[in-house]
Chain A
């Protein structure tokens, strides 16, 4: 086999995503700046302006227009990309539904940032969790290499003829977006073998064969279209393992499929967390293992479709699950806690203890996670089965 054309750069999570768009030969980028995402689309603008990337770059007046332009580009058969954060993602909300329901395989980077009011630019998952039911596949990256690789894997998954759904890849604000780490970048020619040119086989805007998608549809038909999207989510479960395996064979990188375990095989307690919360949990796991606490961690790499099967199989072998949520479902706990409990219902009776952490970018260190594990352990010993706690709440302090 020919030697791979690759280089390792020390770059931020945002630049890793920009390089991924270049490696994936994205054809149309429509973007509007917002902190902490801006350096993604700035770097892509530089690639396009200097001729390193052959793409049409559309500067739009809002995030709603950014997604609308991606919808148009993808409908015309182009590989489309954008990136946003927080209020920008919320402003896209209507178009997120449109992209998914029109079955357009757009890929986007979401740099997770807290929602206003009040303004806060730090890491918080409220923005992406609020888009849970739009029909987008959701990934959470735990390091910059994973952010790079997941963008490329996501195009391959979304453009699959059994799927045709859009996806976004979440990166924690600043913790990944503005922190430099070594990232291996692959030449476009090598990525071509994994990710061929996009061919829209389901429908396409074509002046020689004019069609419309989006005309009014009566109750006789709409129901089945919604079912069809959920069916494609089921195909994600079927197809993504093969895609990750092929990516590993070609490029050597492995980040797990829907989840990735750290010391879970012999663990009695398992922490379930997305993105960088998982990475920090691994540090806590190593520390707690020194005190003979039989703990492991499970990365929630994909949030939709929800990896119920992985979670059930881990839950069956352990005595307790601990969930970390960097978002809330006001009035009903945290989204990951709720989904984990729902996934294991009727399958196993493992207790689940949920913790809200790091809202608005408050630091979550391995010490915090160790405290959480000790708190959950004492609850288990008291015979409790489930609770949702705000870790480190400062209410009442002067």
Chain B
């Protein structure tokens, strides 16, 4: 039992404990599923666990939490991920 006067912030792992961090994004990674080979490097490197693996084995970006760091785009070996300014289309 912790004493009442010992006040400490201890948090347990939970989805989105920091809120919808996707709002921080300036650039957006977009997966081209015609080029994706399901290697999952993007899923492995994503520092925010914002890439999930779908039932069909393809990665999917969770835009609620993706901050747009661009690491997945940088790491993708088959260039299946493009990085576009928010509000603009993949071009």
When each residue 1-36 of chain B gets 1 if its CB lies under 8 Å from chain A and 0 otherwise, what string results? 111011111111100011000000000000000000
User: Interface residue count for A (Cβ, 8 Å)?
Assistant: 24
Please tell me if the beta carbons of B9 and A221 are within 8 angstroms of each other in the complex: yes
The 5 listed contacts between A and B (C-beta, < 8 Å) are A164-B6, A202-B8, A213-B11, A215-B11, A225-B7
Interchain CB contact (< 8 A) of A217 among B1, B3, B9, B12: B9
Please tell me if the beta carbons of B7 and A224 are within 8 angstroms of each other in the complex: yes
> Does A232 sit at the interface, judged by CB under 8 A?
yes
Q: Whole-angstrom distance between the alpha carbons of A211 and B2 in the complex?
A: 16
> Does A231 sit at the interface, judged by CB under 8 A?
yes
From known contacts A161-B3, A215-B17, A216-B18, infer whether A203 and B12 are also in contact, taking CB-CB under 8 Å. no
From known contacts A215-B17, A216-B18, infer whether A203 and B10 are also in contact, taking CB-CB under 8 Å. yes
Across-interface contacts of B11 in A (CB, < 8 A): 211-213, 215
Q: Whole-angstrom distance between the alpha carbons of A30 and B36 in the complex?
A: 46
Closest to B1 in A: A201
A198 smallest CB distance to B (angstroms): 16
Helix, strand, loop or mixed for chain B's interface? Answer: loop
Please tell me if the beta carbons of B2 and A232 are within 8 angstroms of each other in the complex: no
Across-interface contacts of A216 in B (CB, < 8 A): 18
Across-interface contacts of A228 in B (CB, < 8 A): 5-8
Q: Whole-angstrom distance between the alpha carbons of A228 and B3 in the complex?
A: 11
Q: Whole-angstrom distance between the alpha carbons of A215 and B11 in the complex?
A: 7
> Does A103 sit at the interface, judged by CB under 8 A?
yes
Across-interface contacts of A232 in B (CB, < 8 A): 5-6
A6 smallest CB distance to B (angstroms): 34
A219 smallest CB distance to B (angstroms): 13
Query: Which A residues from 171 to 202 make CB contacts under 8 A with B?
Result: 201-202
Q: Whole-angstrom distance between the alpha carbons of A213 and B10 in the complex?
A: 5
> Does A162 sit at the interface, judged by CB under 8 A?
yes
Closest to A223 in B: B7
Across-interface contacts of A235 in B (CB, < 8 A): 5
Across-interface contacts of A211 in B (CB, < 8 A): 10-12
Q: Whole-angstrom distance between the alpha carbons of A16 and B68 in the complex?
A: 55
